[in-house]
C-alpha cells in the first residue's frame, strides 16, 4: 500500500516478533514498506542506567527491516515518558543534564548511523495550549533543549531526516501553532530540523477532515520542513458497530488522502497493523478496533480498501 512517492508502514514491538503469522504479515512489502519500533529505541530501553547502553531490542527491529528491505523510522530520543528514573527524577544542573542528553543522543544515533531514514528527535514537547510541557529537560535547560537535541543528532548522523513528533497537531489550533514555533525555534538556533510527524491517534467520527489535515500540513511545509503521519490509528468504542466501521473507513481515507494531497508528505505509519497488538485498549478503556487488521490478523476489507483507494 504505497503511493509513488510515499511509504506506508507499521509500528512493531519485540514481543510480537515471536508470532510467526504476525511477522509474515508485517514482512509483506506489498503492504508495508516501512517499520517503526514501538518501544525498542526509547530511553528506558536503550540507556536504563547512566552510561549503560542496551541495543538488543532495537537491533532486532533494524535486522527485520533490513531483511525485508523496509525503510526505518527511528523513535524516539528525547521524551518525558518511558524515561528512566535516573533522568526523570532530575536534580542535575543545566550543564550536567545537557551533557547527559547529548551523550544519550550521540551514543544512540551513532549506533544506528546510516540505518534510520528518520529520527524522531523530540516527542511530545507541548501542552494542549501550545506552551512547552513541563518535563525534566524543559524545567532544567529551558526551550534550548530542543535545538541542542537536534544539533546533536545531526552531528551524529548527518544523513538522517530529523523530526519533531507530537499528537493533536493534525489540524489548525494552539498546539499546531506551538509545533510550528518549535520548527522556527530550532531553525533560529541554526540547528537542522527536516520534518514534523503527526502522530494521528484519532477517534472515529472526530478525525479532522481531509481539508483540515491538508491545510495544516501545508502550514508546516511552508516553514521549510517535510511532514509524515507517524502513529495513525482510529479508535472506537468496542465492540465496534457497522456504522462505526463505515465512518472509520472514511476517517482513514481522509487521513491518507491528506498525505497524498501534500507533495511533502513522505509517508504514513500505522501504530501497529493488527488489533491483536494495538496499544489502544490498554490505555483508553473500552476503546479499540483501531487498526486495519483485526485481532485474528485478518484484513478488515472495508478499512483496507478505503486506504488503498485513498492512495
Ligand atoms: C506506546 C507503545 O505503543 C506502548 O507499547 C507503550 O506501552 C507506550 O507507548 N505516542 C508515542 C508512542 O509517541 O511512543 C506511544 O507508544 C504511543 C503514543
DSSP for the chain, written as a single string = ---SS-EEEEEE-GGGGG-HHHHHHHT-TTT-SEEEESSTTSHHHH-SBTTB---HHHHHHHHHHHHHT-EEEEEEEE-SSS--HHHHT----HHHHHHHHHHHHHHHHHHTTTT-SEEEEEE--B-TTSSBPP-HHHHHH-TTHHHHHHHHHHHH-TTSEEEEEESS-SSSSHHHHHHHHHHHHHHHTT----EEEE--EEETT-SPPHHHHHHHHHHHHTTT-EEEEEEEEEEEESS--HHHHHHHHHHHHHHHHHHHH-TTEEEEEES-SBGGG-SHHHHSTTEE--SSB-TTS-B-HHHHHHHHHH-
Q: Residue 281 pLDDT > 60, yes or no?
A: yes
d(CA 227, CA 93): 34
Q: HSE (CB half, 13 Å, CA atoms) of 144?
A: 9
Binding site membership of 38 for ligand 1 (Cβ less than 6 Å): yes
Q: Residue 3 pLDDT > 60, yes or no?
A: no
pLDDT band, very low/low/confident/very high, at 187 (cuts 50, 70, 90) = very high
Query: What was the pLDDT predicted at 298?
Result: 98
d(CA 123, CA 79): 5
**Which atom, in ligand 1's list, is nearest to the CA of 124?**
13
From the list 153, 39, 142, the residue with the least C-alpha distance to 103 is: 153
Q: What is the ipTM of this complex?
A: 0.99
CA distances for 28 relative to 8, 59, 125, 187, 273, angstroms: 12, 20, 34, 38, 12
Binding site membership of 199 for ligand 1 (Cβ less than 6 Å): yes
Kindly report, residue by residue over 83-93, the tens digit of the pLDDT: 999 999 989 99
Kindly report, residue by residue over 16-67, the tens digit of the pLDDT: 999 999 999 999 999 999 999 999 999 999 999 999 999 999 999 999 999 9
* 278's grid cell: 494495538
| Catalytic pick among 124, 170, 210, 226 | 124
Residue 124 annotated as catalytic = yes
Binding site membership of 210 for ligand 1 (Cβ less than 6 Å): no
Bridge partners of 86? none
What is the reported pTM? 0.98
Contact 72, 9 (CB under 8 A): no
Q: What is the largest CA-CA distance in the chain?
A: 56
Mutate to test the pocket of ligand 1, among 16, 38, 275, 291 (most ligand atoms within 8 A of CB): 38
Binding site membership of 12 for ligand 1 (Cβ less than 6 Å): no
**Which atom, in ligand 1's list, is nearest to the CA of 13?**
5
Q: Residue 142 pLDDT > 80, yes or no?
A: yes
Binding site membership of 272 for ligand 1 (Cβ less than 6 Å): no
pLDDT band, very low/low/confident/very high, at 2 (cuts 50, 70, 90) = low
Q: Residue 71 pLDDT > 90, yes or no?
A: yes
pLDDT band, very low/low/confident/very high, at 4 (cuts 50, 70, 90) = low
Amino acid at each position: 500500500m504505497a503511493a509513488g512517492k510515499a511509504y506506508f508502514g507499521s509500528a512493531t514491538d519485540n514481543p510480537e516478533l515471536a508470532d510467526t503469522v504476525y511477522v509474515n504479515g508485517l514482512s509483506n512489502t506489498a503492504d508495508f514498506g516501512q517499520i517503526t519500533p514501538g518501544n525498542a529505541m526509547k530511553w528506558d530501553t536503550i540507556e536504563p542506567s547512566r552510561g549503560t547502553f542496551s541495543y538488543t531490542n532495537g537491533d532486532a527491529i533494524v535486522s527485520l527491516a533490513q531483511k525485508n528491505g523496509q525503510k526505518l523510522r527511528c523513535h524516539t530520543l528525547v521524551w518525558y515518558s518511558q524515561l528512566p528514573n535516573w533522568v526523570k527524577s532530575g536534580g542535575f544542573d543545566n550543564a550536567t543534564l545537557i551533557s547527559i542528553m547529548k551523550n544519550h543522543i550521540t551514543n544512540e544515533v551513532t549506533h544506528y548511523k546510516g540505518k534510520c531514514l528518520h529520527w524522531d528527535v523530540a516527542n511530545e514537547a507541548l501542552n494542549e495550549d501550545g506552551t512547552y510541557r513541563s518535563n525534566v529537560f524543559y524545567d532544567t535547560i529551558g526551550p534550548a533543549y530542543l535545538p541542542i537535541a537536534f544539533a546533536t543528532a545531526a552531528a551524529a548522523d548527518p544523513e538522517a531526516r530529523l523530526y519533531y513528533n507530537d499528537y493533536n497537531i493534525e489540524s489548525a489550533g494552539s498546539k499546531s501553532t506551538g509545533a510550528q514555533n518549535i520548527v522556527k525555534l530550532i531553525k533560529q538556533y541554526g540547528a537542522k530540523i527536516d520534518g514534523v510527524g503527526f502522530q494521528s491517534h484519532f477517534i472515529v467520527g472526530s478525525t479532522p477532515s481531509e481539508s483540515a489535515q491538508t491545510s495544516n500540513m501545508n502550514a508546516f511545509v511552508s516553514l521549510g520542513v517535510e511532514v509524515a503521519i507517524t502513529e495513525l490509528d482510529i479508535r472506537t468504542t468496542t465492540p465496534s458497530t457497522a456504522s462505526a466501521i463505515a465512518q472509520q473507513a472514511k476517517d482513514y481515507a481522509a487521513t491518507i488522502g491528506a498525505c497524498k494531497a501534500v507533495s511533502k508528505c513522505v509517508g504514513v505509519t500505522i501504530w501497529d497493523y493488527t488489533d491483536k497488538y494495538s496499544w489502544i485498549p490498554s490505555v483508553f478503556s473500552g476503546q479499540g478496533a483501531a487498526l486495519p487488521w483485526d485481532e485474528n490478523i485478518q484484513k478488515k476489507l472495508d478499512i483496507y480498501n478505503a486506504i488503498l483507494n485513498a492512495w
